[in-house]
Amino acid sequence: MEGIEIAAIDKILVVLYFVFVFGFGSYFGRYIKNTTDFFFSGRKFSWWVVSVSMIATVVGSYSFIKYSAAGYRYGLSSSMSYLNDWFFLPLWMFAWLPIIYFTRMTSIPEYFERRFDTPTRVMAILFVAVYLIGYIGINFYTLGVALHALLGMDVMVAAGVVAVITGIYVTSGGQTAVIMTDLLQGVLLLVAGLSIFTLGFLFLGDGALLPGVVQFWDGLDESKRYGLAHFNEPPNFSFIGVFWQDAIASSFAAYFFNQGILMRFLALKSVNEGRKAIVFALAILMPIAVIAVGNAGWIGASMDGLGVIPEAYSQDPDPNKMFVIVTSILCKPGIFGLVMAALLAALMSTADTLINATSAIVVNDIWRPYIVRNRPDEYYLRVARWASIASAILGLFLVPLFMRFDSIYVAHGAFIATVTPPMAVCIVLGFLWPRFTARAAFATLLGGAVAMGVSIWFPALVEPFSHGVDPEGGFKYMRALYGLVVSGIIGVVVTFLTQPSKSAEEIVGLTIYTVREAERRFKGGEINRGPGDKLRATVRVVPPSGREEDEVDDVVHLSLHPDDLRVLGAHEGDLIFLADPRVWLGGLRAGHARVQDALGERGVVELPEDFIERNQLQPERGVVVEKLM
């Protein structure tokens, strides 16, 4: 199958989509004034914006291809990977997120420097860089594969076009462009994915929805109706392999040290918004996403069971082409263009996040601390933009490497399984065990990586952890459990043989036991946890305050009327948040402030011109004020 005939309307839709995303993303360049804006969007977004945009990031272009292939081969159990992220949630919500938020961490390697030492940070930079840039390469490659199957385009040309467009709008609009375009693209890919499911039911039911659902179920073999796969067969898709490689290792990687996802959460207005965002994403959006990316395979399996796949397609049963086959059967001109746009959305929304995250690593972990120090922020903003372009180019260069693997799913899993366990162990011990030393952290990263590498050449090392999985597949998935155990042993043993190099004071805020202190230091005083309501206020524009602390704090100091403070439940010194009253903006036009005193006019906030301009507020609309802490 060398490409499918595409209707003109579909091609037009794809081109329009490219142009729209390019323009929409580039528009947000106006919100970028410094590197904090470029990487963290000024910490102001609402939970739902981050939640939806995060799903777009998690769903890559490879997702449609690989989960449709898995869905066709193994049925509903292909959904396992999207529905098993719950187990670390308490530690993430109440320990890790507050740690990185309240210590104003700019990158994951920075945590390794502050918690351990410089050599450990350098090692972490290597790990995170491999993780991020590898992901960029995988995304470009899989999109190339999809477009090759759809249009007969050359893989590198297809990947190159998307790399240029994504690279340009990320370079212009930074994290704000990433979040806003991903919000849009998240909605699109979920709608398109669910449309395929609906069209599949209609196809199977001869135009009737409910009979189509019944037919769909009847067409699925019993072995394809399970939510969780067979315990240890086959070696490339057993439950136990996916559990250790995905539910434990990959989920940990995604939420604890995927720089792109963590930067998304650092763009939120508060830690509590982050908790809402993650629960909404896991409980509501992930189930929708798993249907969106996998249903083409399920529909294909059911069509196969019912014997209704047209002969032209059934002669080419490659599961990796199942997404393309099913969508081309189901979708009429116009709808097919929408699906192709969703595929592009999935790619661009993942690639833009990774490009921005890689740029953050380059600037905050390499350039600023080690190469050119103490320059004005404008200089580092320029470096960030060049780094974004370089990341996109580097990802493109990796595409040929991923062409060497015979299965996208296996290639992706092997990559994640190899680099993840040592980092995961290091982070867990780092924030849960204050005694865990810098030398132990370094040994864990180095020793864990070496052990993982050695096990690729000597798979017998993994056998004790195999849970009965056939060694035929080389234990690709079970290697994660082996890596976690070996890395854990190295970390614990070396800790007991070495002494901590940092005092308890130096690691305040970096372990679970000192999160509350980090919160106090973030605010600059005791936390106000009392109840309060939101308040609608009118804005009076005043000249810039000229106060040095406003610049240092990146907040404005406000006087509020005592009655307003009562409504807010706020006191002097509390941090408050001022946002445009239009809820649908999700915090795009908003900023932080600190209560200076109780001397203001009732229902009025006096905002300096520079604060209004920096946060793109529109005084004539007023603001909604709420207490944060």
Partner 1 sequence: MYEVSYIYQYGIGTAIFVAGSVVCIRAGVLDLSDRQERRAWAMATAGLVAFAVVHALFQFVFPFTG
Positions in the binding site for partner 1 (CB under 8 A): 76, 83-84, 86-91, 93-95, 98, 214, 217-218, 222, 225-233, 239-240, 243, 247, 272, 275-276, 279, 282-283, 432, 512-513, 515-516, 529, 531
Nearest distance in Å: CB 93, partner 1? 6
Nearest to 575 by CA among 596, 589, 561: 596
Minimum CB distance to partner 1 smaller for 212 or for 337: 212
Residue 566 CB neighbours (<10 A): 14
Q: Where are the beta strands (DSSP E) in 488-573?
A: 535-542, 556-559
Minimum CB distance to partner 1 smaller for 7 or for 283: 283
Nearest distance in Å: CB 217, partner 1? 5
Q: Contact 197/291 with Cβ under 8 angstroms?
A: yes
Nearest distance in Å: CB 57, partner 1? 20
Q: What is the rounded end-to-end Cα distance, in angstroms, of the chain? A: 59
Q: Contact 191/42 with Cβ under 8 angstroms?
A: no
Q: And the tokens for 176?
A: 């704000």
Nearest distance in Å: CB 532, partner 1? 11
Minimum CB distance to partner 1 smaller for 10 or for 85: 85
Nearest distance in Å: CB 76, partner 1? 7
Minimum CB distance to partner 1 smaller for 272 or for 407: 272
Alpha helices in 95-208 (DSSP H): 97-102, 108-115, 118-151, 155-204
Nearest distance in Å: CB 575, partner 1? 15
Q: From residue 179, give the alpha-carbon distance in Å to each of 8, 33, 56, 289, 371.
A: 31, 17, 10, 18, 29
Q: On the CB side of 626, how many CA atoms lie within 13 Å of its CA?
A: 16
Minimum CB distance to partner 1 smaller for 24 or for 226: 226
Q: Contact 128/258 with Cβ under 8 angstroms?
A: no
Minimum CB distance to partner 1 smaller for 11 or for 230: 230
With residue 606 as reference, give the H or E element that holds it: strand 604-608
Nearest distance in Å: CB 97, partner 1? 10
Minimum CB distance to partner 1 smaller for 255 or for 313: 255
Nearest distance in Å: CB 615, partner 1? 25
Minimum CB distance to partner 1 smaller for 30 or for 516: 516
Minimum CB distance to partner 1 smaller for 94 or for 405: 94
| Buried/exposed code over 371-399 (b: 16+ C-beta within 10 A; e: otherwise) | eeeeeeeeebbebbbebbbebbebbbebb
With residue 270 as reference, give the H or E element that holds it: none
Q: Facing residues of 286 across strands?
A: none
Length reported for the chain: 629
Nearest distance in Å: CB 579, partner 1? 19
Torsion angle (degrees, nearest 10) of CA 163, 176, 366, 386 = 50
Minimum CB distance to partner 1 smaller for 341 or for 480: 480
Minimum CB distance to partner 1 smaller for 136 or for 220: 220
With residue 117 as reference, give the H or E element that holds it: none
Nearest distance in Å: CB 302, partner 1? 11
Nearest distance in Å: CB 335, partner 1? 28
Assign 196 to helix, strand or coil.
helix
* Phi, psi at 45, each rounded to 5°: -80, 155
Minimum CB distance to partner 1 smaller for 148 or for 627: 627
Assign 623 to helix, strand or coil.
strand
Q: And the tokens for 453?
A: 């590498």
**Euclidean distance between CA atoms 516 and 521, whole angstroms:** 9
Nearest distance in Å: CB 239, partner 1? 4
Q: From residue 402, give the alpha-carbon distance in Å to each of 399, 410, 587.
A: 5, 11, 39
Rounded to 10°, the helix 118-151/335-361 angle is 160
* Phi, psi at 590, each rounded to 5°: -165, 165
